[in-house]
Structure 1
Amino acid sequence: MNERILDSFTKDALETARANNTYRSMRLMETPESSCVKIRMPDGASQEQILLASNSYLDLANIDELKQAMAQTVLEWGTGSGGARLTTGNKTPHQELEEFIAKFKGEESAITFNTGYMANVGTISALCGKNDFIFSDELNHASIIDGIRLSRAKCFVYKHNDMADLQRVIQEADKSRAYAPTLPAPRKLIVTDAVFSMDGDLANLPELLRIAKENDCLLMIDEAHATGVLGKTGRGLAEHYGCAHADVTVGTLSKTVAAEGGFVAGKQQLIDFLRNKARSFIFTTAMAPAVAAAACNNLRFIDAHPERVQNLRDNVKFFCDALRREGVNVDLSPSAIVPIVIGDEAKAMQVSAKLQEQGILIPAIRYPTVVKGQARLRASLMATHTQEQLQTAASIIAQAVKEGV
């Protein structure tokens, strides 16, 4: 092993990251995920924080009845699955979860993956190949980008949420076909996040459906930050708009659902196809049965408690209003994500650190997650935050932003 080479390039990369204020480290949380947590501070002490940094938007991870249900499943099914789903790993909890996802999403069928990342990578690379065209929003998640790269399809990136630009790149792609008339007609796929994770804004599903139909494209949406958040009962983007579903709906079980895994929901034939062609499904050990059962129980809880979705929406409005009253320029978010743009990477890190000292845990998001000069505090809310907590947080955030530390 050549340690000199390894040490040299890794050291250079880390030093560059530190110099550019993009170096990343982990904080230690000493209590379960909820609206308030205890964090290990740099001096070794534990400090209670209002958590404005969780994707567990409905705060399901620490509900006693759901924890007990998962514990009972471990006793019944053991701690692991023992194999891939197509060999020995397929268990009753996996099937029950997929059946309930399909019901919850209003689709014919569903398939689960070990992570949402694997769902995107596996689905895109199964649906498209090197002669196909993919049209991708410029702010799509890294898992979508990596899925496109693995597919080897030709990618056309359109301006964020710009339907006119999407139409333009589709026409550009169609014109390029004139130079390769001997190749089979390309499959065309539009792919987008439903909720964009750094800005909290929504994809225009009605327009995307129209454009896809008019241009013979498939439409795929990733509802990682939409499931359990959007729509009257948390069923996602289609419920929010009151429109038809995309051809392919991807989601995660590790955010609002507060378990682990990813899924694709759609027509039965699509799911049968992915079961046979998605490499990130075929060539991996199945998620533990207890995890599948927990995801299913948590989805049932969301289904039975639509008021929790409404509580989240009410909290987002209260928090945005409170920030504006304090002089912070934010828009009313349609999702659970409220970005507070700082701009400079170093300043964003300083403000975030200052807030943590004052009991508010809200991360600084920097390049390359967002473009340079657009560093921000990314607040993500829970249904269980109290108005008192949110008002306190808004006041402290406003003061820290105004002072610049």
Structure 2
Amino acid sequence: MTMDHPQPPLYVAILTYLSYGVLIVFGHLRDFSRAGLTALGLRWLLRATSKDTRRPVGNEPGYCELLSDFDNFYTRRLYHRIQDCWNRPVCSAPGAYITLPERLSDDYNLSFKLTGKTHRCLNLGSYNYLGFAENHGPTIAAVTDATLTYGISSCGSRATAGNTRDHVELENLVARFLGKPAAMIFGMGFATNSTVIPALCGKGSLVISDTLNHSSIVQGCRVSGAKIKTFRHNDPDDLEAVLRHAIAYGQPRTHRPWKKIIVIVEGIYSMEGEICRLAEIVAVKKKYKAYLYLDEAHSIGALGATGRGVCEHTGVSPDDVDILMGTFTKSFGGVGGYIASTPELIQYLKSVCIGHLYANAMAPPVARMVQTTMKIIMGEDGTNDGQRRIHQLRDNANYFRRRLVEMGFVIYGDNDSPVVPLMLYYPCAIAAFSREALKRSLAVVVVGYPATPIIESRSRFCLSAAHTREDIDKALDAISDVGDVMGLKFNA
């Protein structure tokens, strides 16, 4: 299922490293000259000749740098040069098209001013996989009713004054949708991983995590205090080797057996567009009696004949996955996350997990929104709209991926995945691709180091069931044009 990543030509790798080298060398030269002028007492010359106000001239008395040296340097000398490609304001719902206000900068991308004009773009950046994130359609009446009934927020955690009937009904619906006996919901997807994982394991436990797992998983593992080991991305053989070694040698120094071992993987890896080799990983975890935690943030609703995620897509029973985690941010058009497992584990998490005990409860209108979209996906609204959206998403993603490969672009990921990464490689291409796409009315996401390996900068497209074939052909024509201008068709 999972394809090996295509490797860039040797000259591309060399030029990519050389480009980063030039940026870093010249950045240090600018810092060195700045420090020299400061030491000579020529601060007035710096202020008179440069608009670069990204850091004070010299250190302020009594204060140290807030960031580490390299973080500070990278932010000032690399990121700020191209930060116009991120944090763009949005003034519309994240549907098939999105409206962006025009903004300009006259101080090297340090600040921006809105011009009052707007730009309507085809949206290839939002996680609106099934097209529910609109300000019209079948969910609006439900959200309006919930808002009038409960207001915007319950102003409390689920454990205090924030629990409503809609929260309870959503938990029951999630469990039924996933084929698990019980579930619990959270108001934030990131906090689901980062607060549940520490509640599951601690000192004396071992977490074995895929090397490309999401930052929320990484943060949760670090906070837990458990020992962390990684295995090669999506490689069941390496997972087995790590498990065998961990069981044979036990805990460091004492060599006592681990209290528990939890393997953590994702359904679809959001930067790679790859689908988890779940059936093989389940076989390994069963062989060594480990627990399996599956993050389905990007796969639930988007994979499987009925949208039930990577378990359905790979033919694995939900009973073989100990803990199912997912978010409502993508396919369901809402916000928040869920955990589904046994009733005993869910009850335990509700009594100890800080994401449940202290964080504000999910907004009641969002809970009603997710209920509505989930019932549409399940066909309980009396229509086949859910099935139509699932099939439309799959067709759109596979058509888009196939056409890009035919054009000669280097594309990562698997068929059926709505995440389609197009490789840019060069650091200068990150900003150029984003800006050129915007000129052609495409809203795209570009990603570079440190979110990706230094040589694997990319543009990550997210397809949606809301896109028509005409929309996709329009996007493909524009991307092909940008690829020709920038020389990105490495396989042509």
TM-score range, shorter chain: over 0.9
Q: Which residue of 2 aligns with 1:56?
A: 128
How far has the Cα of 1:19 moved from its partner?
2.1
Alignment partner of 1:33 is 2:106: no
Q: Which runs of 5+ in 2 are unaligned?
A: 1-58, 105-114, 380-385, 488-492
Separation in structure 2 between the aligned mates of residue 65 and residue 280 of structure 1, nearest angstrom: 31
Once the two structures are superposed, the pairs formed by residues 73-92 of structure 1 within 5 Å of their partners are 73-92=146-165
Alignment partner of 1:115 is 2:196: no
3-state SS in 1 of match to 2:207: strand
How far has the Cα of 1:178 moved from its partner?
7.1
C-alpha contact (below 8 Å) 1:201/1:334 kept by paired residues = no
Of the three residues 78, 83, 91, the one matched with 1:20 is 78
C-alpha contact (below 8 Å) 1:124/1:151 kept by paired residues = yes
Amino acid at match of 1:289: P
Once the two structures are superposed, the pairs formed by residues 234-313 of structure 1 within 5 Å of their partners are 234-245=307-318, 246-304=321-379, 305-313=386-394
How far has the Cα of 1:11 moved from its partner?
11
C-alpha contact (below 8 Å) 1:316/1:336 kept by paired residues = yes
Residue 218 to residue 8, structure 1, CA distance change in 2 (3 Å): closer
Amino acid at match of 2:77: A
Q: For residues 1-35 of structure 1, what are the alpha-carbon distances to aligned partners after superposition, in whole Å with 9 as ceiling and x for unaligned?
A: x9766695469755532423476441012221111
Separation in structure 1 between the aligned mates of residue 155 and residue 344 of structure 2, nearest angstrom: 27
Once the two structures are superposed, the pairs formed by residues 277-356 of structure 1 within 5 Å of their partners are 277-304=352-379, 305-330=386-411, 333-356=415-438
TM-score of the two chains, using structure 2 as the length reference = 0.78
Q: For residues 269-312 of structure 1, what are the alpha-carbon distances to aligned partners after superposition, in whole Å with 9 as ceiling and x for unaligned?
A: 12111111212111222122222111111211222211210000
Q: Which residue of 2 aligns with 1:127?
A: 200
User: Which has the higher mean CA deviation after the structures are superposed, 285-294 or 47-56?
Assistant: 285-294
Separation in structure 1 between the aligned mates of residue 287 and residue 296 of structure 2, nearest angstrom: 23
**Structure with greater Cα Rg:** 2
How far has the Cα of 1:344 moved from its partner?
1.8
Q: For residues 108-129 of structure 1, what are the alpha-carbon distances to aligned partners after superposition, in whole Å with 9 as ceiling and x for unaligned?
A: 0100011111111222111111
C-alpha contact (below 8 Å) 1:21/1:346 kept by paired residues = no
C-alpha contact (below 8 Å) 2:247/2:258 kept by paired residues = no
User: Which has the higher mean CA deviation after the structures are superposed, 149-158 or 25-34?
Assistant: 25-34
Separation in structure 2 between the aligned mates of residue 158 and residue 42 of structure 1, nearest angstrom: 43
Amino acid at match of 2:211: E
Alignment partner of 1:47 is 2:128: no
User: Which has the higher mean CA deviation after the structures are superposed, 346-355 or 217-226?
Assistant: 346-355
How far has the Cα of 1:315 moved from its partner?
0.5
Q: Which residue of 1 aligns with 2:145?
A: 72
Separation in structure 2 between the aligned mates of residue 78 and residue 14 of structure 1, nearest angstrom: 42
3-state SS in 2 of match to 1:64: coil
TM-score of the two chains, using structure 1 as the length reference = 0.94
Q: Which residue of 1 aligns with 2:238?
A: 165
Separation in structure 2 between the aligned mates of residue 228 and residue 379 of structure 1, nearest angstrom: 18
Separation in structure 1 between the aligned mates of residue 410 and residue 147 of structure 2, nearest angstrom: 47
C-alpha contact (below 8 Å) 1:52/1:360 kept by paired residues = yes
Amino acid at match of 1:127: L
* Fraction of identical pairs, as percent: 29
Q: Which residue of 2 aligns with 1:227?
A: 300
Q: Which runs of 5+ in 1 are unaligned?
A: none
Please report the RMSD computed on the Cα atoms of aligned residues, expressed in angstroms. Answer: 2.1
User: Which has the higher mean CA deviation after the structures are superposed, 144-153 or 383-392?
Assistant: 383-392
C-alpha contact (below 8 Å) 1:318/1:387 kept by paired residues = no
Residue 185 to residue 376, structure 1, CA distance change in 2 (3 Å): closer
User: Which has the higher mean CA deviation after the structures are superposed, 93-102 or 35-44?
Assistant: 35-44
Q: Which residue of 2 aligns with 1:375?
A: 457
How far has the Cα of 1:83 moved from its partner?
2.0
Residue 125 to residue 368, structure 1, CA distance change in 2 (3 Å): same
